[in-house]
A = this chain, B = another copy of it.
Amino acid sequence: MSYFVLRLDSRKLHSAVRLLPLREPRWGQIPFLSSNRFMSQEKVPPLTAERYRVSRLPFSEVSVEDIRHFQKIIPGRVITDESDLKAHNIDWLRTVRGHSKVLLKPRTTEEVSKILKHCNERGLAVTPQGGNTGLVGGSVPVFDEILISTALMDQVISFDDVSGALVCQAGCVLDSLNQYLAELGYTMPLDLGAKGSCHIGGNLATNAGGLRLLRYGSLRGTVLGLEAVLPDGSILDCLNSLRKDNTGYDLKQLFIGSEGTLGIITALSIMCPRKPSAVNVALLGCENFSKVLQVFTLCRDQLGEILSACEFMDSESMRIVQTHLKLINPLPDNAFYVLVETSGSCGKHDEEKLNIFLEKAMDSGFVTSGTVATDQGKIMSLWGLRERITEALALDGYVYKYDLSMPVEKLYALVEETRVRLGSSAQCVVGYGHLGDGNLHLNVTAKSHSDALLSALEPFVYEWTSKHNGSISAEHGLGFKKRDHIYYSKSAGAVHIMQQLKHMLDPKGIMNPYKTIPSTD
């Protein structure tokens, strides 16, 4: 126990939100705007249709008349220039690429409605796109689907500072909403690494989980209402702001997590918690994964209602953020690291609880080193180590990404088995994730995409997960890449009902085709 830095003090933090300073590159923008490595030609992936050998469905092709029609609906906001379209045709990870010829930027629900009505009548396929930070190829076209971006739908509609209900358009950037709310003493109930770029509508469409789920629960509970445009252009208004409403089936749930396959979410209402007045973050080092689990159980018991995050990362994750992002590990090298965050309404009480937890963790030998942060700068630095792993991986090479949930005791065994299985054919195998949610991010990097490596990984990873009653997509969704693996986590009967739902709401199948739900053909 040579290196335990305790820096708790009694100052309350008045702003507990981890705002990224503007000069810092934001996650999601780096590949296209900030890093030359990503702009080089060899990092442009092959066309999805070629790499994955998919066939185009018989949708219409966009015509000059269609473009003219769109120009009438949203004059000046119909993008057809190939260089402008490039970034929208490729996913953030640079693993899939479509060749859409047109990007539409509506500002209002009515414009989205007119666009979809036309597309549906003409049999034109569409791909909705938010911040394009998705990790399963869900937000880029597979072929020439028309891109409908929510980028200009970025207005806050209302905020009720008694109930905490925020109503806004789908294109608001998550971090911008957080900044807006911080001034009013509130915070968003979700947080994730991509917050600087991702759109709240996209968060809903993918049922994003992230870093605060442990504390505030999932979007299925915090979203109060939404508005969506259906494929035929009709507007479904379920945009209420009530905490309780049991009048009929809860239609908004259909759209949460449907990944743009049933319609386009245009606005939403979400319940925002009070911004906690005190936040503490501890980074702890552990010798092995069984001690990680002991730390998890201990912090849940000791920190109770103030525990707001419990994340873990392995030494490879730490190595990769040090190597590619030059981040500094404040602890000596450890096999594992656990990041524990508390958020509460009374700094003094939280510190007492945290101190008791830390003392017990040390006395029991669960942790070998640790550091605690109460000021915003240090909190941000510690969170950066965990939040920016995804970014560091993207800089390491081609990334094979798995986002799995399973009983927490099993989380790391899969990483170890994968490492042994792949041997030297992988550049790097890392495991990290949300302990509190039983959610593992298993990532494998290699110099470039290889069918052989993919075959070594799949179906191995999915079968392993399924055997342990896990989910093959905990929070990323299925998108294009995982669609046909749905059966590892869902019964044929369940998938059949999903197909019926899809057909019911989108009989022509124009909404984000080739994604999420296996085709019935």
Q: How far is the CA of A234 from the CA of B497 in the complex (A)?
A: 11
Residues A304 and B245 in contact, CB atoms below 8 Å apart: no
User: Interface segment, A370-378, A400-408, A445-453?
Assistant: A400-408
Q: Which residues of B contact A498 (CB under 8 A)?
A: 248-249, 251
Contact A469 B246 (CB under 8 A): no
Interface centre among A246, A249, A304, A497 (most CB of B within 10 A): A246
Query: Which among B250, B251, B437, B504 is the interface contact of A244 at CB below 8 angstroms?
Result: B437
Are A254 and B246 in contact, CB atoms less than 8 angstroms apart? no
A152 CB-CB contact with B under 8 Å: no
Q: Could you tell me if B257 and A249 are in contact, using CB atoms closer than 8 angstroms?
A: yes
**Assembly CA distance A240 to B353 (angstroms):** 33
Q: Which residues of B contact A438 (CB under 8 A)?
A: 163, 242-244
Name the one of B247, B504, B516 contacting A489, with C-beta atoms under 8 angstroms. Answer: B247
Name A161's closest neighbour in chain B (CB-CB): B297
Does any Cβ of B come within 8 Å of A459's Cβ?
no
Cβ distance A206 to chain B, nearest Cβ, rounded Å: 7
Contacts of A22 in B (CB 8 A): none
Let me know if A49 is at the binding interface, CB within 8 A: no
Partner-contacting stretch, out of A37-45, A90-98, A328-336, A475-483: A475-483
In the bound complex, how far is the Cα of B299 from the Cα of A274, in angstroms?
13
Q: Which residue of B lies closest to A165 (CB)?
A: B407
Which B residues touch A217, using CB under 8 A? 217, 221-222
The interface on chain A, measured as residues whose beta carbon lies within 8 A of the other chain's beta carbons, has a size of 88
Cross-interface CB contact of A238 among B249, B276, B494, cutoff 8 Å: B494
Which of B345, B409, B486 is the one whose CB lies under 8 Å from A247? B486
A304 touches B345 (CB 8 A): yes
Query: Given A235-B493, A247-B486, A306-B305, are A242 and B163 also a contact pair (CB < 8 Å)?
Result: no
A188-215 contacts to B, CB under 8 A, are: 206-207, 209, 213
Contacts of A206 in B (CB 8 A): 246
Query: B220 touching A253 by the CB < 8 A rule?
Result: yes
A-B complex: 6 closest residue pairs judged by Cβ atoms: A221-B221, A304-B345, A253-B253, A245-B471, A244-B474, A247-B489
9 contacts across the A-B interface (CB closer than 8 A): A163-B407, A220-B221, A244-B438, A246-B471, A247-B472, A248-B495, A249-B498, A303-B345, A349-B349
Beyond A213-B244, A217-B222, 17 extra complex contacts between A and B, CB < 8 Å: A162-B297, A207-B250, A234-B493, A236-B493, A237-B494, A240-B489, A243-B437, A246-B473, A246-B476, A246-B477, A248-B478, A250-B256, A250-B257, A253-B253, A253-B254, A305-B343, A501-B501
